A = this chain, B = another copy of it.
Amino acid sequence: MNYRLKLMYDGTRYAGWQRQQNAQTIQGELERALSVITREAVSTIGVSRTDAGVHATSYTANVHLENPIDSYKLFRGANALLPADIRLIEAKPCDESFNARFDAVQKTYLYRIDTTPHGNVFYRNYAWHVPQALDLEKMQKAADCFLGSHDFSGFMAQGGSSKTFTRTIMDSSFTEEDGLLTYRITGNGFLYNMVRIIAGTLVWVGKGKIAPEDMPAIILSKDRTRAGMTAPAHGLTLLRAEYADEN
């Protein structure tokens, strides 16, 4: 039986999603909990390999189990066994063919930037602290340039597994509240470190290091050295993934 799982996690203490031999990871913790409950060796599939320090408010995964188990038992059991910074939000049986990684049709990430001079203690693990005035109007103008379909080779770190580099972005927008900038980006897929490189580039735009007018040429150049720095992982949160069957 195939189960679709939704998780929420604070990535601060973890070396990312993916199972590792010698480090604590979200997938490792989840599989350990599920193994205890089901008494099976389980292998989960996650929507994305989030980096160390990256968070998720709704992360989709799936797991095939030999022996069917009541969804509510799975939910209660997992939350009793998982550490407090990882929660199972939902568990339900799904089509055998469902694959959390390959069936995702779009994903939305948030990147948070704390521009207060002192730094907000409640966002110290969830936002990049950039203690200076950023030109939000220019940042939004530059953010608009990512909308639509582009080859994002210039906004990709080495080490990813992607074979194609064109992605379509449907939302790329900022909101601001009490000095906290929240950048929201929705796309049909993302290259390795793409959101963090885009966020770092937009902060450079806000600082005046890159002009928003130059963004289209920077994207077209496919040259990583023309984009900005990779923004730190802890500012990034996977908000959610969408699947065709949910529409």
Binding site for B on A (CB under 8 A): 8-10, 55, 57, 75, 79, 84-89, 116-122, 124, 126
Q: How far is the CA of A126 from the CA of B123 in the complex (A)?
A: 12
A86 contact set on B, CB distance < 8 A? 121
| Bound-complex Cα distance A86 to B89 (A) | 31
* Contact yes or no, A118 B79, CB < 8 A: yes
Q: How far is the CB of A132 from chain B (nearest CB, A)?
A: 14
9 CB-based A-B contacts, threshold 8 Å: A8-B120, A8-B122, A10-B121, A57-B122, A79-B118, A87-B118, A87-B119, A87-B121, A89-B116
A121 touches B85 (CB 8 A): yes
Q: Which residues of B contact A8 (CB under 8 A)?
A: 118, 120-122
Q: Do B124 and A85 touch (CB < 8 A)?
A: yes
Q: In the complex, which residue of chain B has the Cβ closest to the Cβ of A8?
A: B121
Please indicate the chain B residues that have their CB under 8 angstroms from the CB of A55 in the complex: 122
For the complex, what is the distance from the CA of A75 to the CA of B131, rounded to whole Å?
A: 13
Report Cα–Cα, A247/B61, bound state, in Å. Answer: 53
